[in-house]
């Protein structure tokens, strides 16, 4: 039976027709089928740009939440306004050739204006910690909005004090004094100022490849050309070699605290990491050549975020902190991306390195997407900073404090730290299997739901996969219903940092999509 007969039978199914009607319909449909076939064949011959989704796309897990139907501004009008009235950088950072127009979110899911559902594995750049529009957090925000939107800390109001006491309880002594800000850049900017005032020194050291913000001061801490401008910025900031055991000159198969190690050969004796010694040697050389004998601070993310989920040798931070303190500096842990249980094994990333910083900065997951940040420090450093007046109009806003307090409760009640550990470890283990399968997957790394997959031209050279190839795979993953991020100095690392409420079923769906996208690329290549 040919296609025209099949379609004809479908038309007639469950219908009672007269012989005349049947004869007429058959003549009409045959003519239609011949015409349509000719048109389609012609379009195919002309290599139509229309891309039809493959029939073997992995099946997305079910979701009981029903998104509202979008009835707002057209996509065309939004892009027109974006180009004309939004700052030009919004166009530069817009992901995908065909942008995703987000309309609504719930837990790990996002819906676009056309009603298509996506599994969100990037969480608004590692920001949505417990889930989009989480019912508990949303209820806390609504309740506070009905009571008091705003007042400042020149008055004494309950949400501020309730939250500060609660947040302080998550830190070891002597980290017990809290400054609330509106963003991570602002928190890091404040930490720089506090470190300099407390130590009486000026120079600050960070890693190459780091990202600590985009304000004029934190731009100096950030070590990635894409975020730099040709102006004087971040005076007194020096970047030292990042102890990256995959891309750096030294590294082996036992260096890092991760379920997955590099595939580089390692001949180190048990408990003795030669790569760590080499990277510490580079830090010592920075002290000897690039900064004064006394410094103000050392900034370090426990795992680099924008840098591509880069991990260091296990004892690196412990030895680095010791050297920094010998030079008069304070040690600052940037937990903007690693904090609030995302690494799974610990609530704070620094705890996985067995160190206690002098200051901890945070943002993103602190408010599940509500604009908020914080600096947590010691009473001694806080006393040094109290010599002048520091005031922040919106820092510690009542709504922000209510939201952030609910986030802490929800992390405990929903067991999200354990989810990060279990699902994250499973994802990395499965991704490591794909690394063995595909030559272009160079490295899989991370802890919990802070995961990086570094893509290469080949494993021998470890040269970054080209931006064009990265974009091909990136688009394919999106088209199959998953949103992830990119990072690394060369944009060569896929970043997987979802809301900490995803399930094993979600993980399996992503693995099927990721495998399919790599397979598609390899076939095209």
pLDDT in tens, 50-64: 344 455 889 999 999
Sheet holding 493-496: strands in order across?
441-447, 450-455, 493-496, 485-487
Whether the per-residue pLDDT at 334 is higher than 90: the answer is yes
Q: What is the DSSP string of 21-86?
A: HHHHHHHHHHHHHHHHHHHHHHHHHTT----PPPTTPPPPPP----PPPP-SS-HHHHHHHHHHTS
Decide: helix, strand or coil at residue 285: helix
Considering only CA atoms, which of 183, 226, 236, 146 is closest in space to residue 364? 183
DSSP state of 465: P
Q: Give the model's confidence band at 271: pLDDT under 50 very low, under 70 low, under 90 confident, else very high.
A: confident
- For 227, list phi and psi in degrees, rounded to 5: -105, 15
Specify burial of residue 13 (Cβ count, 10 A radius: 0-12, 13-18, 19+): exposed
Mean pLDDT, rounded, for 168-193: 98
Q: What separation, in Å, do the N-terminal and C-terminal C-alpha atoms of the chain show? A: 38
pLDDT number for residue 55: 57
**Residue 196 has what pLDDT?**
98
Q: What pLDDT is attached to residue 46? A: 33
Please determine, for residue 4, whether its predicted confidence score (pLDDT) is greater than 50.
no
Domain boundaries, the chain: 96-133+416-524, 135-414
Residues 6+ apart with CB under 8 A from 365: 126, 127, 128, 129, 337, 339, 340, 342, 407
Residue 261 has what DSSP assignment?
-
Tell whether domain 96-133+416-524 is in CATH 3.20.20.100: no
Please state which of the ranges 77-86, 93-102, 263-272, 348-357 shows the lowest mean pLDDT: 263-272
- Per-residue confidence (pLDDT) for residue 12, from 0 to 100: 40
| pLDDT score at 53 | 46
The predicted pLDDT at position 195 comes to 98
Confidence of residue 222 (pLDDT cuts 50, 70, 90): very high
Q: Which residues contact 520 (CB under 8 A, 6 or more apart)?
A: 54, 473, 476
Q: Compute the mean pLDDT over every residue in the chain, rounded to the nearest whole number.
A: 90
Task: Provide the 8-state DSSP code for 464.
Answer: B
pLDDT at 525: 83
pLDDT in tens, 452-480: 999 999 999 999 999 999 999 999 999 99
pLDDT in tens, 114-166: 999 999 999 999 999 999 999 999 999 999 999 999 999 899 999 999 999 99
Question: Given its phi and psi angles, is residue 383 left (phi above 0), alpha (psi -120 to 50 degrees) or beta?
Answer: alpha
- Does 401 have pLDDT greater than 90? yes
Structure tokens that stand for 18 in this block: 């007269």
Q: Give the per-residue pLDDT at 103.
A: 97
Yes or no: say if 365 and 340 are a contact pair by the CB < 8 Å rule: yes
The predicted structure's pLDDT at residue 33:
39
Buried b (16+ CB within 10 A) or exposed e, 166-203: ebeeebeeebbbbbbbbbbbbbbbbbbbbbbbbbebbb
390: tokens are 């520091």
State the pTM of this model: 0.88
Give the pLDDT of residue 266. 86
- Residue 28 reports pLDDT greater than 80: no
> What is the rounded average pLDDT of the residues 300-307?
97
Comparing C-alpha atoms, which of 463, 461, 518 is closest to residue 489? 463
pLDDT at 361: 98
pLDDT at residue 110 tops 90: yes
Picking from 500, 476, 487, the residue whose alpha carbon sits closest to that of residue 93 is 487
CATH number of 135-414: 3.40.640.10
Comparing CA positions, the residue from 322, 329, 321 lying closest to residue 292 is 329
What proportion of the chain, given as a percentage, has pLDDT over 70?
Answer: 90
- Please report the beta strands in 402-492, taking only residues with DSSP state E, as ranges in sequence order: 441-447, 450-455, 482-483, 485-487
Q: What is the mean pLDDT of residues 271-292?
A: 95
pLDDT value at 85 more than 50: yes
Rounded CA gap, 408 and 416, in Å?
Answer: 10
Distance CA 324, CA 335 (A): 19
């Amino acid at each position: 039976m040919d296609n025209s007969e099949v379609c004809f039978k479908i038309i007639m199914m469950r219908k009672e027709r007269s012989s005349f009607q049947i004869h007429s319909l058959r003549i009409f449909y045959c003519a239609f089928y011949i015409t349509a076939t000719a048109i389609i064949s012609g379009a195919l011959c002309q290599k139509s740009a229309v891309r039809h989704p493959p029939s073997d796309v992995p099946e997305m897990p079910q979701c009981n939440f029903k998104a509202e139907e979008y009835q707002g501004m057209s996509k065309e009008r939004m892009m027109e306004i974006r180009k004309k009235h939004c700052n030009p950088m919004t166009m530069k950072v817009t992901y995908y050739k065909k942008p995703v127009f987000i309309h609504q979110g719930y837990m790990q899911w996002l819906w676009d204006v056309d009603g298509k559902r996506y599994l969100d594995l990037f969480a608004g750049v590692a920001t949505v910690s417990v889930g989009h529009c989480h019912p508990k957090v949303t209820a806390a925000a609504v309740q506070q909005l009905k009571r008091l939107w705003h007042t400042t800390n020149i008055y004494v109001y309950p949400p501020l004090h309730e939250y500060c006491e609660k947040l302080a309880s998550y830190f070891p002594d002597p980290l017990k004094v809290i400054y609330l800000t509106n963003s991570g850049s602002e928190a890091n900017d404040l930490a720089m100022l506090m470190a300099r005032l407390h130590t009486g020194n000026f120079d600050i050291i960070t890693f190459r490849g780091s990202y600590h913000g985009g304000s004029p001061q934190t731009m100096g801490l950030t070590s990635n050309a894409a975020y730099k401008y040709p102006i004087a910025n971040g005076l007194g900031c020096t970047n030292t070699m990042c102890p990256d055991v995959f891309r750096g000159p030294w590294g082996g198969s036992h260096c890092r605290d991760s379920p997955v190690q590099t595939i580089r050969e390692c001949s180190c004796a048990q408990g003795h990491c030669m790569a760590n010694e080499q990277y510490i040697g580079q830090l010592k050389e920075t002290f000897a050549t690039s900064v004064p004998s006394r410094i103000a601070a050392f900034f370090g993310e426990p795992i680099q975020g924008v840098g591509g989920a880069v991990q260091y040798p296990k004892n690196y931070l412990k030895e680095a902190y010791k050297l920094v303190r010998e030079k008069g500096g304070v040690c600052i842990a940037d937990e903007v991306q690693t904090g609030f249980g995302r690494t799974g094994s610990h609530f704070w990333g620094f705890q996985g390195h067995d160190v206690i910083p002098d200051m901890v900065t945070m943002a993103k997951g602190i408010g599940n997407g509500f604009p908020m940040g914080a600096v947590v420090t010691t009473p001694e450093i806080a006393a040094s900073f109290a010599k002048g007046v520091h005031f922040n109009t919106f820092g510690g806003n009542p709504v922000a404090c209510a939201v952030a307090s609910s986030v802490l409760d929800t992390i405990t009640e929903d067991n999200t730290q354990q989810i990060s550990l279990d699902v994250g470890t499973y994802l990395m283990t499965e991704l490591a299997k794909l690394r063995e399968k595909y030559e272009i997957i160079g490295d899989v790394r991370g802890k919990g739901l802070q995961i990086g997959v570094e893509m290469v031209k080949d494993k021998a050279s470890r040269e970054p996969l080209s931006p064009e190839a990265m974009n091909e795979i990136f688009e394919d993953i999106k088209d199959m219903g998953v949103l992830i991020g990119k990072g690394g100095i060369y944009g060569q690392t896929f970043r997987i940092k979802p809301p900490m409420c995803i399930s094993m079923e979600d993980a399996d769906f992503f693995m099927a999509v990721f495998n399919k996208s790599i397979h598609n690329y390899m076939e095209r290549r």
